[in-house]
Amino acid sequence: MSTQPFMPNLPGAIADKAVRLGLMEEIRTLARRRNAIILAHNYQWPDVQDIADFTGDSLGLSLEAQNTDAEFIVFCGVHFMAESAKILNPDKKVLLPNLSAGCSLADSISPESLSEWMSRYPDHTVVTYVNSTAEVKAMSDICCTSANAISIVKSLTNNKILFTPDRNLGNWVKKHVPEKEIVVYDGACPTHDVLRGANVSKTRSAYPDAVVIAHPECREDIIALADEVCSTSAMINRIEKYPDARTFIVATESGIVHQMKKRFPDRQFVLADGCIGCRLHCPYMKMISLDDVKRSLSETKFEITVEPEILASARVALDRMLAVPRDN
Ligand code: 13P
């Protein structure tokens, strides 16, 4: 079985190495000239990750966005991530190099559907995963990411929780916080939710000694057979815990393998889907190309804006989240 992730021929991949390196150098020069910081999520194309000042998970990137003195934040991720950076930095210009980079999970909950759920559970504290729009965050009591969801729910005084929108993450939290009554909304990330325990078991049968590392957006049957379940940055860090393991089966979006190989070049990483990453490919995360980043920086366009009233309420939910330490 090949260890190379399947990479469809989307605009992020520039075959000619000299052209690619030249473009990357141009982007770095432009970023310096514009006083811009480039943030890239662990799922971005490898080249896009390599031009970033910081790569990381949603929580790590939110913290970088909050700490920067740069005038521009170029966010290579999806819309809700850039929107969170804007909410945390209302006075900075936040650019998303391709404004079509959305998120199916964020779209699975609207202000109207949340309002309907809230009316059904009026005594519950609303915990909303950051994979949601600013409007939904603004209606929530507190946000969470995959890196702090358990600590966030444990930190709340109310024992009645409405967890939105990801059902797999919600069920994982529920298992770790049995003392609370947690009602879970019925949303999911299609990239993770398409994976089944049978796919992972089949992949594992080819690598019986491999360590299985999964993201909590995976379904319960995968969580049950994983050795580690954590946020994308923690998935990379956890490899250190297994100095004798040669092979790791990775149950999340394929872009993460780039950082894993960079940090641990002597290990083997196999995507969990048994079809060499073709299912573990988020089309939105792969929408940003090097050309998009260059254009966004040189023309300072594709700016994220949030209505002031929505921003102020969403900020409360994000600030409450940032006050709680990460799980992992
Ligand atoms: P992380 O916060 O773990 O990076 O996950 C973000 C995400 O969108 C997973 O699908």
pLDDT at 16: 84
Q: Determine the residue of 148, 215, 235, 237 to mutate for testing ligand 1's pocket, defined as the one with the most ligand atoms within 8 A of the Cβ atom.
A: 215
For the stretch 116-130, pLDDT in tens is 999 999 999 999 999
pLDDT at residue 4, as a whole number: 42
* Residue 232 CB–ligand 1 contact under 6 Å: yes
Ligand 1 atom nearest to 231, measured from its CA: 3
Residue 145 CB less than 6 A away from ligand 1: yes
- What does the pLDDT average to over 310-324? 97
Q: Do domains 17-100+284-299 and 192-271 have the same CATH topology?
A: yes
pLDDT tops 50 at residue 7: no
- Is the CB of 58 inside a 6 Å radius of any atom of ligand 1? yes
Q: Which segments of 177-307 does DSSP mark as H helices, in order?
A: 190-193, 197-206, 220-225, 232-237, 256-263, 290-298
Ligand 1 close to Cβ of residue 217 (< 6 A): yes
Question: Residue 105 carries which side chain, given as an amino acid letter?
Answer: L
Residue from 73, 70, 69, 39 nearest 56 by CA: 39
What's the rounded mean pLDDT across residues 302-316? 98
Q: How far is the CA of 10 from the centre of ligand 1 (A)?
A: 21
C-alpha 61 – ligand 1 centre gap (Å): 11
pLDDT tens readout for residues 59-106? 999 999 999 999 999 999 999 999 999 999 999 999 999 999 999 999
On average, the pLDDT of the chain sits at 94
Please tell me if the CB atom of residue 55 comes closer than 6 angstroms to any atom of ligand 1. Answer: no
Mean pLDDT of 286-308: 97
Ligand 1, atom 8, residue with closest C-alpha: 131
pLDDT in the model for residue 279 = 76
Q: Does pLDDT of 289 surpass 50? A: yes
pLDDT at 274: 73
- pLDDT on residue 17: 86
Nearest-CA residue for ligand 1 atom 1 is 57
Q: In whole angstroms, what is the distance from residue 227 CA to residue 24 CA?
A: 37
- Number of CB atoms found within 10 A of residue 159's CB: 14
Give 116 Cα–ligand 1 centroid separation in angstroms: 26
CA dihedral 120, 122, 125, 127 (to 10 degrees): 30
* Ligand 1: nearest atom to the Cα of 57: 4
The pick from 44, 55, 58, 222 for probing ligand 1's pocket by mutation, whose C-beta has the most ligand atoms within 8 angstroms, reads: 58
Answer yes or no: are the C-beta atoms of 98 and 285 closer than 8 Å. Answer: no
Cβ of 98 below 6 Å from ligand 1: no
Taking the domain 192-271, which CATH number applies?
A: 3.40.50.10800
What percent of the chain shows pLDDT beyond 90? 91
166 in contact with ligand 1, CB cutoff 6 A: no
- Residue ranges of E strands in 174-320: 181-184, 211-214, 228-229, 247-251, 268-271
pLDDT reported for residue 326: 83
Class of domain 105-188+307-322: alpha beta
pLDDT higher than threshold 90 for residue 15: no
Give 168-180 pLDDT, tens digit per residue. Answer: 999 999 999 999 9
Segment 121-168, tens digit of pLDDT: 999 999 999 999 999 999 999 999 999 999 999 999 999 999 999 999
Ligand 1 atom nearest residue 41's Cα = 4
Q: How far is the CA of 33 from the centre of ligand 1 (A)?
A: 30
Q: Where are the domains of the chain?
A: 17-100+284-299, 105-188+307-322, 192-271
CATH code of the domain made up of 17-100+284-299: 3.40.50.10800
Residue 273: C-alpha distances to residues 1, 14, 167, 213 (Å): 12, 25, 20, 13
Yes or no: say if 148 and 62 are a contact pair by the CB < 8 Å rule.
Answer: no
If one counts every other C-beta atom within 10 angstroms of the C-beta of residue 238, the result is 17
Q: Is the pLDDT of residue 2 over 60?
A: no
